[in-house]
Amino acid sequence: MKATPNNSKKWSVAGVYAALTAVSLIMLVPFLWMLSTSFKRPQDIFTYPPQLIPPVFQFQNYVDVFTLIPFHRFYFNSVYISFVVVAGTVFFASLAGYAFAKIPFTGRNAVFLVLLSAMMIPHEVTAIPMFLFMRDLGWIDTHLPLILLPIFGASGVFGIFVMRQFFITVPTELEEAAMIDGCSRFRIYWTIMLPIACPGMATLTIFTFVSIWNEFFDPLIFINTRELMTLPLGLSLFTDEVGTAWHYLMSATVMATVPLLIVFFLAQKRFIEGVAMTGLKE
Amino acid sequence: MNRKVKRRNKGPLAREAQVTGWLFISPMLLGFTLLLLFPMGKALYMSLNDWPLLGGHRFVGLDNYKDIAVDPLFWKVFGNTAYFTLGLVPFNIVLALMLALLLSRSLKGIGIFRTAIFVPVMTSLIVWSIVWKYMFATDSGLINQLLMLFNIKGAAWLYDERLAMPAVIVTSVLKNVGLNMVLFIAAIQQVSRSLYEAAELDGAGKTKSFFNVTLPMITPTVFLTVVMTVIGSLKVFGQIYVMTQGGPSNSTKVLVYYIWEKAFKLFQMGYASALAFVLFFVVLILTLLQWQLRKRWVFNEGDA
């Protein structure tokens, strides 16, 4: 009598595990296949039946990629652009976020509302005049648009929003004490508020890094010279140029993905919580 | 008297706040004006012009919009975008909700599954699309190789007019389903336990308590994610660029791809701007709709 509900419960747990394993496998197989192909020799790519473990590990693929395309340039460009954009976004967004949260100036709410509502402007609308604007400035085929647009554009506004939410929770008494001691606003922001806002800044850093590392549309529009391309753009062109050299392409994509995976595993909890908290952004 | 003293005390501080407040937001405000607000206005103006890359532009009023209305390729592209959106959104939401239900239980090793499903979200869309293009490849693709094991001759997925779009949709769902899943998990975990206990006392089973407790309680999140996913789908570009380049025979050419092609390959900047404004109006309507409905549904939203 007792066995039936127990058994059915066991079965349902097993069913849950089976379903989750199936979905997880579908998610992970592309990565495994990418990793596997990245070590294959050209003649091992199309074998039947498909082999997950290559018969011969060709580490040379990873070296050849650098001579075939300026892969180290793509890499360097992606790293340094991400770094500058993250630093710029965190600084300017936290400065403005602090002001919107804690400094009572006239027009504050109105300006904030305008900023927020501008976030729904699709990027594709402003990209066209921006292209002409950058051309007039002589900034096409430079990294300036790739750095300035995310810091001050819609993703910067998103940063303000995140930082403001964070600063709002900090008690005002803390600042008042410092103000009585004669601290300037900037000093309060720099020495008191920023250290408190570290978790918020970490969340913003991860968000910004991931989105900039993956950004594709802007580099596609603004960059023509191969040496100036970022990883996603460089790799997307590589599909055309080398056509079916999948083993090279896969070793390049592995190398492009690894930094992201490292960042993700280091900051996994914060990132997932951040997504859940803000409930925004692709 | 008392009030006067107070005001005087507040005076210099309040004035200081005026100056520093505006000073602190001025870099963002300046950048925002130059890089977002001004281009927005200019885009609107451009959409009313015939605007080639080189040479002068010519004011044509609403002609671009009229041309769009009778452009057969636009309607094809519009249909493709709708196809992508209507194919992706229900698939994504239902799968995300099912996964969230399974993963909001406390089972052993749940973190591993959550991570596995979330990893594609943060991978580069371009890398993900490249790998899936490889998986869908006609001869060397894993999918056709696996089908061959069962003696099935696989299709030329990305070169078949009927199959290319579904292939892109599946790729896109797998890429982003983890995002909605995380949002749903967060929402489900906020539903009060006591509601379930009450439902159980009333004799409700699992299914019943899902439809009577969970779903009504997370409706705001469901609606938010539906709107966000629809907006995201309307802007699909990267996976199309990598996997199909809009082909075969325009069967996967979507709105943003068409905008990009018109603006940056054919340099019809005015026409492309008008197309972009069509996209903008659709996004605007969806966003306003969401705000409206959110007001009705979400009670403890705070001031933001």
Provide the residue type at B118 as one letter. Answer: F
ipTM: 0.89
Report the alpha-carbon distance of residue B285 to residue A11 in Å, rounded.
47
User: What is the percentage of chain A residues whose pLDDT exceeds 70?
Assistant: 94
Per-residue pLDDT tens digits for A17-56: 999 999 999 999 999 999 999 999 888 887 777 888 888 8
The two tokens of residue A76 are 């360097």
Per-residue pLDDT tens digits for A135-152: 999 999 999 999 999 999
Residue B265 — φ and ψ, nearest 5°?
-115, -40
With contacts defined as CB-CB under 8 Å, which chain A residues touch B182?
272, 275-276
Residue A31 — φ and ψ, nearest 5°?
-70, -45
Nearest CA in chain B to A30: B131
Per-residue pLDDT tens digits for A231-263: 999 998 877 655 668 889 999 999 999 988 888
From the CA of A115, how many Å to the nearest CA of chain B? 8
CB A203 within 8 A of CB A272: no
Residue of B29, B35, B139, B140 to mutate, testing the A interface (most A Cβ within 10 Å of its Cβ): B35
Residue A129 confidence (pLDDT): 94
Could you give the residue ranges of the DSSP H alpha helices within chain A?
Answer: 3-38, 42-45, 60-68, 71-102, 108-118, 123-137, 144-152, 154-168, 173-180, 185-187, 194-196, 198-214, 217-222, 231-241, 246-278
The two tokens of residue B200 are 């159980």
Residue A280 confidence (pLDDT): 47
Residue A63 — φ and ψ, nearest 5°?
-80, -45
Report the mean per-residue pLDDT for chain B. Answer: 88
Q: E strand or H helix at B198, and its extent?
A: helix B193-201
Contacts of B214 (CB under 8 A, 6+ apart): B101, B188, B191
Tell me the Cα Rg of chain A: 24
Per-residue pLDDT tens digits for B148-171: 888 888 888 999 999 999 999 999
Least confident stretch, A53-57, B47-51, B268-272: A53-57
Contacts of B249 (CB under 8 A, 6+ apart): B161
Scan residues 189-228 of B and list those with Cβ closer than 8 Å to A.
Answer: 221, 224, 228
The reply to whether residue A249 touches residue B174, judged by beta carbons under 8 angstroms, is no
CB B213 within 8 A of CB B58: no
By the CB < 8 Å criterion, does A217 face chain B? yes
Residue B7 confidence (pLDDT): 45
For the entire predicted model, the pTM comes to 0.90
Nearest CA in chain B to A265: B115
Distance, CA of A204 to chain centre: 10
Long-range contacts, A201-204 (Cβ 8 Å, 24+): A201/A90, A201/A94, A201/A163, A202/A267, A202/A270, A203/A162, A203/A270, A203/A271, A203/A273, A203/A274, A203/A277, A204/A89, A204/A90, A204/A93, A204/A94, A204/A159, A204/A162, A204/A163
Residues in chain A: 282
pLDDT at B204 exceeding the cut of 90 = no
Q: Which of B30, B182, B259 shows the shortest C-beta gap to A276?
A: B182
Report the alpha-carbon distance of residue A20 to residue A27 in Å, rounded.
11
When comparing pLDDT for A273 and A215, which is higher? A215
Selection from A118, A115, A123 nearest residue A97 by Cα:
A115
Residue A3 confidence (pLDDT): 46
